[in-house]
Amino acid sequence: MADFDSSDDRQPTTKLEPFVKVRPCGENEHPLEFMYVFSYFVRPSGKFDPEDYALYVQPIATFNSVEQFWSTYMHVKRPSDANEKVDFHMFKEGIKPVWEDEANCKGGKWILRLKKGISSRIWENLLLAMIGEQFMVGEEICGAVCSVRNQEDIVSLWNRTADDPGITNRIRDTMRRVLNLPANAILEYKRHDDCLKDQTSYRHTNPDLAVRR
């Protein structure tokens, strides 16, 4: 299991290798449509500027096959087991898990708030849907984040285009299906240009795109 240690304000540590470089798919491996990167973020103690987020993102591994995904994922701590505030990321290679990234800046994210104790199952199902290309929106999906907080856990799925309701609605509906969400589950959408304005990820979501079924 990965172990996060915040004793060093600048450099969170992990028992995994700091970064596992991608290797070619083996002859008997099942290649993915895209290459992905696992990473995580532990907020440093003291005053923190959200614009410095990328400085603290710690990559874990890059993978491009089903087998490589599982060999890495099985050694990473599950969100429900994390005992401090931490963000887990899985993004396509070349896309940073920050609002300002070229792939993210005109997009946004669907947000699902979860009671404590169930995020590991939801997170795993979301990752499997991503690498299995369940969303059927081409290159729209950028990555996913699971944010572990004191009172709740938050899973979000990031996409490139916030202004296309056909795309965002398809992503929302697919999330409901692949995560087997109950009828009363609420999904909220937030544009990344709004995140840049208010410097928050999950506050002030757009009520016009909050969905309850």
Q: Is 136 left (phi over 0), alpha (psi -120 to 50) or beta?
A: left
Q: Is residue 5 part of a domain?
A: no
Structural domain range at position 63 = 31-212
Burial 186-205 (b: 16+ CB within 10 A, else e): ebbbbbbebbeeeeebbeeb
Q: Is residue 3 part of a domain?
A: no
92, β-bridge pairs:
36
Q: Is residue 6 part of a domain?
A: no
Q: Is residue 145 part of a domain?
A: yes
184 pLDDT band, cuts 50/70/90, is confident
Tens digit of each residue's pLDDT (9 = 90 or more) over 80-105: 999 888 999 999 999 999 999 999 99
170 pLDDT band, cuts 50/70/90, is very high
Is the four-CA dihedral 126, 127, 129, 135 of positive or negative sign? positive
Q: Indicate the number of domains in the chain.
A: 1
pTM: 0.85
Q: Is residue 195 part of a domain?
A: yes
Q: Is residue 17 part of a domain?
A: no
Q: Is residue 168 part of a domain?
A: yes
Tens digit of each residue's pLDDT (9 = 90 or more) over 129-168: 999 999 999 999 999 999 999 999 999 999 999 999 999 9
CATH number for the domain that contains residue 175: 3.30.760.10
The owner of tokens 């290459």 is 35
Tens digit of each residue's pLDDT (9 = 90 or more) over 28-54: 899 999 999 999 998 877 777 777 888
